[in-house]
Structure 1
Amino acid sequence: MSLLGVGKGVESPPSKTKKDTIAKNEDQQETGTCEKLSSSHLPRSIFSRALCEQLATMQVKSLVNEAPPQATHKTDAFVARYKKLEGLLRHAMDSGDFTALFNRNKPMVDKEPHRISDAVRLAAQRQVCDRLQSDLLTQEEMRDFCYTLEKWANKTPKPMKPAWFQWVVCGMREKGMLLYDMYIDYVAFTKARAEMHPKIREWLTTTKFFTLMTESDDTIFRRLPIVHLYNYVTKKVWLVQVRLGLAYYDVDGQGYLTEESMEAYIRDMIPTLPHLDEMDPTLEPFYLCAATRKFFFFLDPRRIDKVQIAAIISSLLLDDIFELHDLEVRTTNWFGVYSLLRIYKHYVYLDTDANGMLSPKEFLKFNYSSRGNQVCLTETFVNALFSEKMTYHGEMDFRTYIDFVLAIENKNEEQSISYFVKVLDVHGKGYLNSSDLHYFYKDVYKILFECSLEPPKFEDIKTEIFDMIKPSNPCRITAADLFSSGKGGYVIGMLIDAKTLDEAENLEIVGNS
């Protein structure tokens, strides 16, 4: 009996011999189906294995001696599901193409086989969090660490007489050679280290002591200020706390955060940041988008829509967020309220039809930069931007707008250069050639000419660009060439911004034609 027969009307009961024959044929058919599914033609993935296991354990009972089941919505859904599954299986085995069994990487199977893997993943995540929790030091342990350092600080080196040593130290202080009150040498450090917490001993190794010694101002007695040791341990504890906080948002337990997870992390931090207390609640979605996109713009170069937790911790972006614990922050801090209002107000200013999106015509009015310089984008570049970057019905949303603002305000950064090269490379070759340069420069030349200026000819500009960049291939300019030259941001500005040439007299641009 096939799966298509489940839920149909009951026929007259066959004889016992006929019933045995039917059951035997069903067993053979089911076994053959599972053997075919386990062959090498089926993709070796989690989904295919789950499908094979489910079919292997699926029992198709004969309904010849049973009353028809009571029709329910759940029963109808079950029958329809397995009817569809059987049709897909038949088509797959006939055609040899098993891709139809999957819809956007979602298998046509129940989630039951994955419950164990989900439980293992959650258990592993809890284990990571517990391990990180064990690395945290209590306030009492930190006080003991500070007391131990003070106990062994300012000890007289054994070969020296205490009176002479103190006399030299006082002279060094009078001359301003010593900036701190307490110092410790290596001998005293080894004795103090024996009294420290085991976790601190793992951090403060001999190698780390002499690495920190390079920052010491006591070059005569080769001693290290104990504040350097204290700051180092404090930074380690802080990093563990941050790593623990991020681990709770790592849904897959693979050391990555998705954009949704990063947004949730920042959202939960907002109530703890006094600088954001007076932010209008209606601006919170825009703030979360702007803050999250900065992490992904700079820390997700491969654009895989997830960022390594290790990269987040090692970057300086979290330092800018934690600066918001103060009421007064730098106006250049991307995560501050001032930056959000500046970006949001300009976006609203550009959106003349108030539909929440920017058309190419509206985006052409983009004319500011946080660095204090105005810009004048060309129409050719704007059209290429809207063609390359993801837009909705030919218009740009706030998320895509944030990426452009990050790129235009950090043109010399590697991620920004890669962003612009993908736009300027209209044919997707992976590099820029003379044709690409001419295609974008002609609009710059036109704007300057209409402003009664005398712009350089393209041949002069092309020669100057290749001389500045010095690409590895004399006919091609890659993003790596632009970044390594240190002048990639300026070259990009020459091709997309008409005001770059107008403000570059000190950069020795080729003279007028």
Structure 2
Amino acid sequence: MDWQRSLRSRLAARCGPKKSEQELKDEEMELFTKYYMEWKGERKSGNTSYVNIPRFYYRLPAEDEILLQKLREESRAVFLQRKSRELLDNEELQNLWFLLDKHQTSPMIGEEAMINYENFLKVGEKAGPKCKQFFTAKIFAKLLHNDPYGRISIMQFFNYVMRKVWLHQTRIGLSLYDVAGQGYLRESDLENYILELIPTLPQLDGLEKSFYSFYVCTAVRKFFFFLDPLRTGQYLNLDKDHNGMLSKEELSRYGTGTLTNIFLDRVFQECLTYDGEMDYKTYLDFVLALENRKEPAALQYIFKLLDIENKGYLNVFSLNYFFRAIQEQMKIHGQEPVSFQDVKDEIFDMVKPKDPYKISLQDLINSSQGDTVTSILIDLNGFWTYENREVLVASDNDNTADADDT
């Protein structure tokens, strides 16, 4: 049409000759820079200033800056109080339960009340702003199972809300012990938390105050052992000279007393000791590793002891080094020693490492046989249990059959 041709000609006249792609990019960058600098309040001189960038780093007050430390502590306390007020209190939880019960959707499944999505949203509107976060399609779908009417259990939903509230309350409570305000708890912080928690735990009503420190230490070491990538009475019984520390000879009585001397030597070589003796915290790491050998953190602990050459893998030499001690114990107990060659082949068959001559920590973890392999190498009782596993299984089956007959 004539009007279209006229429009194109006028546009071409205004835009001038056709520009190359690079020219268009340069022009775009020039315009962007111009408008950005104007928006930032900069002058046309081209001086770049960072005065308008918001502050994002605040250094921690030094130990001698008492006022700044107090200000930081008070501001954190106010922040945590505000977060605590955002959580549902007992009265609001009770009100939520009444609303859910009032809007339940028939029919019931046994004695369990159900609610459909339409009524679920109605409750969300009436429950108040604090509850808004729980009334989403995502949470409803998460709790939706095989109900033919497309409903969820009121009890399951309410328990979900309760757990979330409890977790947030615990998080806020733990944050109060984060003295440095860095978002994590040091060992001393967690010790303070658990020590003040003890009087509130009904299970520990009969615990004497003299044992508080042992309980706190045990709990804290367990947290740190399993959260880092990985029995207190026995410690007192092992400590024959009552000096609060364990020598290698005292530790050798641990469990069934069948850990090999070679393995115990490695424990005292690699672990932190004081004048050749082990303190309670080091002992707890040792116990947690041996009692949880299926866990990656425990396997990492034991693997470090078995890796005598510090190569990052176990080879035939290192396996033989530890198994010779098992063979020696078998001789002492009047048993015929088992051939290392047979044991070595069984270990490699169990683990199936990527390299047929080397077993890495990851190979042990991936095989799900790490607990068995480590038991074979460090504990005569563990080896005996593995070696006689078929006899033990048959014995268990016979006992089960006898019980069924009776």
TM bin, normalised by shorter chain, reads: 0.7 to 0.9
2:188 paired residue number:
260
Name the aligned partner's letter for residue 407 of structure 1: A
- What is the distance in 1 between the residues matched to 2:63 and 2:150? 64
2:296 paired residue number:
414
- Does 2:178 correspond to 1:250? yes
- Does 2:378 correspond to 1:450? no
Question: CA separation of 1:229/1:424 partners in 2, compared to 1, >3 Å: closer, same or farther?
Answer: same
Question: CA separation of 1:443/1:253 partners in 2, compared to 1, >3 Å: closer, same or farther?
Answer: same
1:135 paired residue number:
86
**Counterpart pick for 2:217 among 289, 307, 315:** 289
* Matched ranges for 1:26-425 at <5 A: 111-112=63-64, 114=65, 118-119=69-70, 121-123=72-74, 125-155=76-106, 169=107, 178-214=109-145, 219-301=147-229, 343-366=231-254, 368=255, 374=256, 376-425=258-307
SS of the equivalent of 2:259 reads coil
1:492 paired residue number:
374
Name the aligned partner's letter for residue 203 of structure 1: F
8 Å Cα contact 1:180/1:225 also seen in 2:
no
8 Å Cα contact 2:221/2:281 also seen in 1:
yes
How far the C-alpha of 1:234 sits from its partner, in A, is 0.7
2:25 paired residue number:
none
| Percentage of pairs with the same residue | 39
Name the aligned partner's letter for residue 236 of structure 1: K
Q: Deviations over 1:270-325 (max 9, x none)?
A: 111122121122111111111111001101238xxxxxxxxxxxxxxxxxxxxxxx
SS of the equivalent of 1:504 reads helix
Q: Deviations over 1:226-279 (max 9, x none)?
A: 111111111111111101110100112222111111111010011111221211
8 Å Cα contact 1:471/1:477 also seen in 2:
yes
SS of the equivalent of 1:460 reads helix
- What is the distance in 2 between the residues matched to 1:348 and 1:396? 13
8 Å Cα contact 1:125/1:247 also seen in 2:
no
- What is the distance in 2 between the residues matched to 1:127 and 1:475? 60
Question: CA separation of 1:473/1:122 partners in 2, compared to 1, >3 Å: closer, same or farther?
Answer: farther
Question: CA separation of 1:121/1:405 partners in 2, compared to 1, >3 Å: closer, same or farther?
Answer: same
8 Å Cα contact 2:351/2:367 also seen in 1:
yes
- What is the distance in 2 between the residues matched to 1:389 and 1:461? 28
Q: Deviations over 1:149-169 (max 9, x none)?
A: 1121125xxxxxxxxxxxxx4
2:50 paired residue number:
none
Q: Which aligned segments of 4 or more residues in structure 1 are displaced greater than 6 angstroms? A: none
Q: Gaps spanning 5+ residues in structure 2: where?
A: 1-57, 392-406
Q: TM-score scaled by structure 1?
A: 0.61
Q: Gaps spanning 5+ residues in structure 1: where?
A: 1-45, 51-109, 156-168, 303-342, 369-373
Q: Deviations over 1:41-68 (max 9, x none)?
A: xxxxx99x99xxxxxxxxxxxxxxxxxx
